Amino acid sequence: MSITSAIKQEARALGFDAVGITRVSRSAAGDQENSPSRNSETAAPQHLFARLTEWLRRGYHGTMAWIERDPNKRADPGQVLPGCRSIISVGINYLTVHRADEQPGYGRIARYAWGKDYHKLFDARLKQLEQFIHKMAPDAKTRSYSDTGPIMEKAWAEQAGLGWIGKHSNLVSADHGSWLLLGEVLTTLELEPDEPATDLCGSCTLCIQACPTKAIVEPYVVDATRCISYLTIELRGDEAVIPHELQAGMGNKIFGCDDCLDVCPFNLRAEPTQEESFQPSNWSLSPDLKELSKLEETTFATVFRQSPIRRAKHQGFLRNVAIAQRNLKPS
Ligand code: B12
Ligand code: SF4
Ligand code: SF4
């Protein structure tokens, strides 16, 4: 069995639902010069760099200053792992059989945050995959990330054939629909690449129409400053930092948003995950806004200890709850 096949087999055995490989060319890997503008065989750092810098120029990142720190590095894996030759993209399906309770008085939490924080799950499995690679190829260098590294994960996952970037700008998998979280191992090994995925969106615009705050400003481009996910998770400050028009669009969403993902026709084929850590906690399907509005800081820290929700912090979460409560009332 080739090393590529062995790595893929191991990734699946570790519980990754999707795995694919992109070959990063020598020039793209920043070995010859520290610029992402050189041509590549199988990857496209030029496009990544251009899209990222245009997105930043338009200010779509809002207060997420960390994303503008080093766009060159973010678009060029060779600057993250010198000598990088391949990226092993992996995905885990987080769809469960559950549905959110739509009763009035309840808030709405994005599906990825119904269970435990996925970062830990990915970190542990990615480390195991790296160990496996080192056993097979002791000289190989590796580095792994999920979400928190300077890597444009969706673009590499698309190149690796895991799915295509849909018009809502997230990766859509033919097998798992919208419900795939991503991670990757960068390595100096030259592995056999997969075919990039083909964009199957066609003339569909359901996600663009479904967005309550018109954050998908053009197909494939999301203005984060209008996106409810950003407003409820990333944006710090009191209610005054969110324009009234966007507060109204938030509806009952108190952490993240799935509206553009929910409507995607490719979700019809998606099968639920067996993954224990994505199974919803008691409060995640029917979060009672009245109860949550009384949550003390210490209780917040205890209840959401293992949940992605702790990222919003106590103040931000209660701000979101207050906006959702106001949105319940007829104006
Ligand atoms: C910053 C960030 C956000 C920001 C900005 C979102 C965004 N679209 O960029 C905010 C806070 C809003 C956000 C929200 C969400 N996020 Co987020 N986020 C990230 C993060 C950290 C970086 C993404 C990034 O580089 N953005 C910068 C822009 C420039 O890049 P981009 O999104 O890839 O957009 C460009 C491409 O789409 C490109 N493009 C591609 N094809 C084409 C074709 C054409 C013709 C054109 C013109 C352009 C184009 O042009 C776009 C604009 O420049 C990644 C993790 C990572 N390191 O990659 C997770 C990540 C993208 N997020 C993820 C998730 C799950 C979400 C949410 C669904 C969470 C939720 N339920 O609330 C929402 C979805 C909102 C949405 N519709 O995008 C997952 C997505 C998994 C997947 N299947 O795609 C990731 C990969 C994390 C992970 N490890 O799984 N996120
Ligand atoms: S996550 Fe919600 S607010 Fe953000 S682009 Fe999708 S539908 Fe719009
Ligand atoms: S809803 Fe339609 S346009 Fe949006 S990602 Fe899915 S198929 Fe593409």
Give residue-wise pLDDT tens across range 227-282. Answer: 999 999 999 999 999 999 999 999 999 999 999 999 999 999 899 999 999 999 98
210 Cα to the center of ligand 2, angstroms: 8
139 is catalytic: no
Task: Find, among 265, 273, 274, 43, the residue nearest to 174 by Cα.
Answer: 265
Query: Mean pLDDT across the chain, nearest whole number?
Result: 93
Q: What is the pLDDT of residue 27?
A: 55
In angstroms, the CA 93 to CA 318 distance is: 29
User: Given a cut of 80, is residue 35 above it in pLDDT?
Assistant: no
Hey, what amino acid is at 281? Answer: S
Per-residue pLDDT at 36 exceeds 90: no
Average pLDDT over residues 218-225: 98
Which is catalytic among the residues 76, 117, 147, 175?
147
Count, residues in the chain: 331
Q: Is the beta carbon of 191 within 6 A of some atom in ligand 2?
A: no
pLDDT for 30 equals 52
Q: Measured between alpha carbons, how far is 149 from 160 in angstroms, rounded to an integer?
A: 18
210 CA closest ligand 3 atom index: 1
With a cut of 90, say whether residue 327 has pLDDT above it: yes
Name which residue sits closest to atom 37 of ligand 1, judged by CA. Answer: 169
- Kindly state the average pLDDT of the residues 27-56: 63
Ligand nearest to the Cα of 265, by number: 3
Ligand 2 centroid distance, CA of 208 (Å): 9
The two three-digit tokens of residue 312, written as one number: 């919003």
Residue nearest to atom 1 of ligand 3 (CA): 264
Q: Cβ distance 24 to 82 under 8 Å?
A: no
CA distances from 212 to 172, 215, 247, 283, 307 (A): 20, 8, 10, 24, 25
For ligand 1, mutation pick of 17, 49, 51, 264 (most atoms within 8 Å of CB): 51
The pLDDT value given to residue 33: 43
pTM over 0.85: yes
- What share of the chain in percent tops pLDDT 70? 94
Does residue 25 carry a pLDDT above 90?
A: no
Q: Which of ligand 1's atoms lies nearest the C-alpha of 178?
A: 83
What pLDDT is recorded for position 70?
A: 87
Ligand nearest to the CA of 205: 3
Chain centroid offset of residue 132 CA:
25
Ligand nearest to the CA of 216: 2
